[in-house]
Structure 1
Amino acid sequence: MLSSDGTGDQFDSDNSNVVQLFNMLVKDKPSQQMVYYQSGIGTYTIPQMATPLMAKMSKTVDMMFGHHLDAHVMGGYEFIMQNYEYGDKICIFGFSRGAYTARALAGMVHKVGIIPRCNHQQVPFAYNMYIRDDVKGWEESTAFKKTFSINADIEFVGVWDTVSSVGLIPKRLPFTRANDNIKFFRHALSLDERRVRFKPTIWERPTKQDMDKGGIRHGISRGFPHNFLKRRDSQDGIDTSRSRYDDQYPLLECQHTDVEEVWFAGHHCDVGGSSVKNNTRNSLARIPLRWMIRECFKAEVGILFHRDMFKEIGMDYATLHPRVLERPNIIHHSPCPSPRCPPDSMGQDPTKSTDPAIIYGDFISEELEDVADAISRKHDKLIEAWRWWILEYTPQPTYYQDDNDNHDVIRYKINMGHGRYIPRQNRDVVKVHRSVQIRIKADCLENGKYRPNAKLEVEPKWVP
């Protein structure tokens, strides 16, 4: 279980959903579950930074442009290298550029495999082969994987609001947009983030260009040791001679990733967390945290959680185990109801109570927690931190996949704080969490009626 925190995030007084999730994990049963946490891009520097001034400057640049992404990916890869045993389930979580780190790590495992433990000096070499996207790079990574590596699937990747801006000129790493070596992919996205350097990396379909460069299924089919195909053919007396790319297209065994991407109300840190202090009872970020944990149970990944901590985030463990129960209908009995107490036996509205025990009472149900969280304050960094406006008036490239599955369609524009663009709305189903409906219908928000900054051109599918 690997967790990569968001840009500038680490354990502190306003923890992200990555830390909240990590806090709930069982950590004292290494034979059943091993856990790894990595603080976010911009929180530490590489050892070569000799002076405090250089270290501070490096952290600032890293936070804005993600220059040390390679160190984060290789750190996670070394943890897998040192601990993986055949049959283990690898689960990776991340937020912001930590989400991109998680997807890049899954891509590296897919492209070069997992080298045997203690081969630390080989890790930078393997990473350099992973990031090469030319023909020679693909050929070398295929040969390297067959010679040195253990093949492994990624069981579950759960990410909050992936952003991919890496360097002054953003680059796209292999298998970060799509990766069939991932069994389950879950992505919570922000409807309201506006910063141009925080455009989301949405899951995309593989194109012919992807397949020509090595395919979305690179090297080995899912779930088998690296020499399985050759051994099976030899035993059956079948000619094992293959063309150069045959092993890169084991289409008969190909299993497509189970993908679920859902949009939530709030800005970047309202989806991934770290926008409010740790002792804050309700916030927008709790909704995508609960959604992600529920998806872990629905996928039957087998992650071990501390049962007594579910109510702290507004969930009831009994609704998740031994089976995930269908959620009750959304609550709409009041525009801004209190989450603490349903209407009493006399039919009185508890929102009019002045009793603190009622207003700030204990957990009752997830549905009532959704109501309180959905109407919580948003946190717009373009208002809270004006330095981000410098980039808003600088032409920036935006990459997306169009309705014809063409990758890297590029838009250069001066963003000026505009909302996100959601591609392929006319063809794909846009899934929006049902809590957004609560916020849209609420009449007591401090800035008036809520409208998402991202433009929804079609009627979305509302998901629980």
Structure 2
Amino acid sequence: PIIPPTHPFRTLVLCFDGTGDQFSLDNSNVVQFFSILPKADGTKQLVYYQSGIGTYNTPEIATPLMSRIAKFVDEAIAWNLDAHVMGGYEFLMQNYTANDRICIFGFSRGAYIARSLAGMLLKVGLLPRYNHQQIPFAYKMYTSTDKTGWTQSNAFKKTFSIEVDIEFVGVWDTVSSVGLIPRSLPFTTSNTIIRTFRHALSLDERRAKFEPNLYHRPTDTEKLLSITDQQIQQAQSTENIQDFMERKYSRDLSTPTDVDEVWFAGCYCDVGGGSVDNETQRTLALIPLRWMVRECFKTDSGIMFNSEGLRSIGLDPASLYPHVATRPPALPVGTARIRSIPSAKSQANTQPSALAPILRTEEELELQDALSPLYDQLSLGWLWWILEIVPLQHRYQRPSDDTWVSYFSANLGRGRVIRHDNVRVHRSVKTRREAMTEDGRKYTPKAEFDWERVTWVD
């Protein structure tokens, strides 16, 4: 059966995969999520999947060699970012009707695309059906960030588009820059038309080009500010100018976005999926996948799921609908150990378990998943170290006054720095910290933050 079985509206669900990701032998959480969505009845729910950056072929590129080169360049600098965003926008333009609920999901650069699409919908609105020729112009209006561009995009929206809200945005580990060239498109860090925003983040990713792009909620002071042209002219950096313009042109909604960003054990692909082959039964990535699905039910997003699909990832449908049940406490670690990455000869971790997920509780599965191997690409592949010793641009928002700070430095394999006052960490991290590795070492997340400021999340 499908849960929820019905609702008085239709849900449009868009899923954007990560860099180089598509349906394969090591699927990401985006594919896993998409696989458990009902697809037969388009009058109740319509679904859309887009493979990741680096998987697109543009029709202008005819030869196989040029196609391979184009894919490599796309992975490096995301030169097809516009095609990905406009592809999702076109799906909505062709299918959206009044009262539909829009829900968008993504991983890595696919998460950035998801947030860019949401930003485009805020800045230029949604064109009426069949206006295909206008989409490239609408995207140009969206990406134009000078004063004239903001004024023109606002006029474009009033002339051609309809205003829409976004019910739910769920992303796994959004990266802050897309490729070697840092990009910051409007309304990707904050967006007032999003009702619910959920973000699963990696505590152990260390690579320089994988800095997390966190959500920025405007402060109470910002909400009261009337942004003047003088303030914009006095802004000290491009980031701060864009911040001012976003606040000036945001829609003033009575209910602020419900934001929750939660940190999980593991690196980039341990959170977004794709670090292990599909036959692997227990993996760290299943924990943030189950968390995201549970949040869809807790926030009444309206997204429909196949009950069998929920069971396949370790969720009991009865614990999610008609009411989301309070989770039991996590199971004690006991003598269980954190497993290491299996060797090529060892297939112990990839053999199907004697007990299928349907026969186990979520707590039992979570214990096994929390102790799964962690795949640190800096340890597994030396080529990533080239970017660790090169000074690259980094940017963050200063907590004291919310201004954006940019600087250049070499990362040298350092962990992420979490500057939030309230660090929300999933309880499975505590489970992993209580266990030891097979050679007797304790797990300590690579990220830098104050453990006294941690709030544990189910």
TM-score of the pair, normalised by structure 2? 0.86
Which of 446, 449, 458 is the aligned partner of 1:456?
449
Secondary structure, counterpart of 1:2 in structure 2:
strand
Distance 1:132 1:450, change over 3 A: same
Bigger mean CA deviation after superposition, 373-382 or 397-406? 397-406
Contact 1:92 1:158 in 2 (8 A): yes
Aligned to 1:261: 261
Q: Verify the 8 A CA contact 2:173 2:201 in the aligned structure 1.
A: yes
Equivalent residue for 2:364, pick from 363, 368, 391: 368
Going from structure 1 to structure 2, the CA distance change for 1:383 and 1:365 (only over 3 Å counts) comes to: same
Q: How many Å apart are 1:405 and its aligned residue? A: 4.0
Among 74, 77, 80, the residue aligned to 2:92: 80
Contact 1:156 1:185 in 2 (8 A): yes
| Residue 431 (structure 1) aligned to one of 424, 432, 437 | 424
Of the candidates 161, 186, 195, which is equivalent to residue 174 of structure 1? 186
Tell me the distance in 2 between the aligned counterparts of 1:269 and 1:444. 20
For 1:145 and 1:266, the matched residues in 2 are separated by: 41
Q: Which residue of 2 aligns with 1:231?
A: none
Question: Structure 1 pair 128/198, CA: closer, same or farther in 2 (3 Å)?
Answer: same
Unaligned runs of 5+ in 2: 1-12, 230-245, 339-351
Which stretch has the larger CA shift, 160-169 or 391-400?
160-169
- 1:412 aligns with 408
CA separation in 1, counterparts of 2:384 and 2:325? 43
RCO comparison, higher one (Cα < 8 Å, 6+): 2
1:210-252 deviations in Å (ceiling 9; x for gaps): 97389xxxxxxxxxxxxxxxxxxxxxxxxxxxxxx9994764x
Shift of 1:321: 0.4
Give 1:361 shift.
7.6
Superposed structure 1 runs of 4+ greater than 6 Å apart: 356-361
- Report the AA paired with residue 434 of structure 2: K
Q: Contact between 1:18 and 1:94, CA under 8 Å: does it hold in 2?
A: yes
Find the counterpart in structure 1 of residue 35 from structure 2.
23
* 1:398 aligned onto 2:394: yes
Residues 148-227 of structure 1: pairs in structure 2 closer than 5 A: 148-206=160-218, 208=222, 212=227
Bigger CA drift: 139-148 or 263-272?
139-148
Cα drift, residue 60 of structure 1: 1.6
Sequence identity percentage: 54
Q: 2:333–2:367: 8 Å Cα contact kept in structure 1?
A: no
Q: Distance in 2 between matches of 1:4 and 1:285?
A: 17
Provide the C-alpha distance between the structure 1 equivalents of 2:455 and 2:307, rounded to a whole number of angstroms: 31
Which is higher, the Rg of structure 1 or of structure 2?
Answer: 1
- Verify: 1:293 aligned to 2:293, yes or no: yes
Higher strand share: 2
The amino acid across from 1:53 in the alignment is L
Q: What is the CA RMSD across the aligned residues, in angstroms? A: 2.3
- TM-score normalised by the chain length of structure 1: 0.84
Unaligned runs of 5+ in 1: 215-244, 339-355
- 1:411–1:48: structure 2 CA closer, same or farther, 3 Å change rule? same
Q: Say how many residue pairs are matched.
A: 413
Give distance in 2, aligned partners of 1:63 and 1:358. Answer: 39
Structure 2 residue aligned with 1:117, among 129, 144, 150?
129
SS in 1 for 2:171: strand
**Structure 2 CA distance for aligned equivalents of residues 407 and 454 of structure 1:** 23
